[in-house]
């Protein structure tokens, strides 16, 4: 399986081009943490169970993404700063069809 490239704009507005493995069952939240693009403790707070919204991000490219689960949908219903293109990073697994994906991290909650 090939690595893919993902473009991540952090909370300060800087865009990072990162290489993501497709064979490690990683999700986008974990990828962001692995590159330390958001401060620890402000992302992935629930560990990736779609039970907080600390990994919310906005999808900036028109990739076809996996359908939102009931849990993710309801969590986003209670999240802040939600836009039409909001998704939870922990629910987006790194697969080859996400090559070139562009995302922006939502602001951290106070």
Partner 1 sequence: MIKTDILIIGAGPTGLFTVFEAGLLKLKCHLIDALPQPGGQCAEIYPKKPIYDIPAFPEILAGDLVDNLMKQIEPFQPGFTLGERAQTIEKLEDNTFIVTTNKGTKHHAPIVAIAGGLGSFEPRKPPITNISVYEDKGVEYIIRDPEIYRNKNVVIAGGGDSALDWSIFLTDIAKSVTLVHRRNEFRGALDSVEKVQELKNEGKIELITPAEVIDIVGDTKVTGVSIKRGADVFNKECDHFIPLFGLAPKLGPIADWGLEIEKNAIKVDNTLDYQTNIPGIYAIGDVNTYPGKLKLILCGFHEATLMCQSAYQRIFPDKRYVMKYTTVGGVEGFDGSKKEAPKAVVKKIE
Binder of partner 1 out of 82, 85, 86, 95 (CB under 8 A): 82
Note whether 13 binds partner 1 by CB under 8 A.
no
Separate counts of helices (H) and strands (E) for the chain: 2, 5
Which stretches of the chain are assigned E, i.e. beta strand?
4-9, 15-20, 56-59, 86-88, 102-105
Binder of partner 1 out of 10, 18, 26, 42 (CB under 8 A): 42
Under rule CB under 8 A, which residues in 52-71 are in contact with partner 1? 52, 54
Query: Which of 50, 63, 49, 58 lies closest to 5 in space, CA to CA?
Result: 63
Residues in contact with partner 1 by CB under 8 A are 39-42, 45-46, 49, 51-52, 54, 74-75, 77-78, 80-82, 107, 109-110
């Amino acid at each position: 399986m090939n690595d893919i490239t993902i473009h991540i704009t952090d909370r300060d507005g800087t865009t990072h081009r990162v290489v993501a493995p497709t064979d490690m069952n990683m999700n986008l939240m974990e990828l962001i943490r692995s590159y330390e693009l958001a401060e620890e403790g402000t992302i992935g707070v629930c560990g990736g169970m779609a039970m907080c919204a600390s990994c919310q991000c906005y999808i900036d490219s028109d990739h076809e993404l996996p359908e939102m689960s009931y849990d993710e949908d309801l969590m986003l219903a209670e999240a802040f700063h939600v836009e039409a293109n909001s998704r939870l990073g922990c629910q987006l697994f790194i697969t080859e069809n996400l090559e070139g994906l562009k995302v922006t991290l939502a602001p951290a909650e106070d």
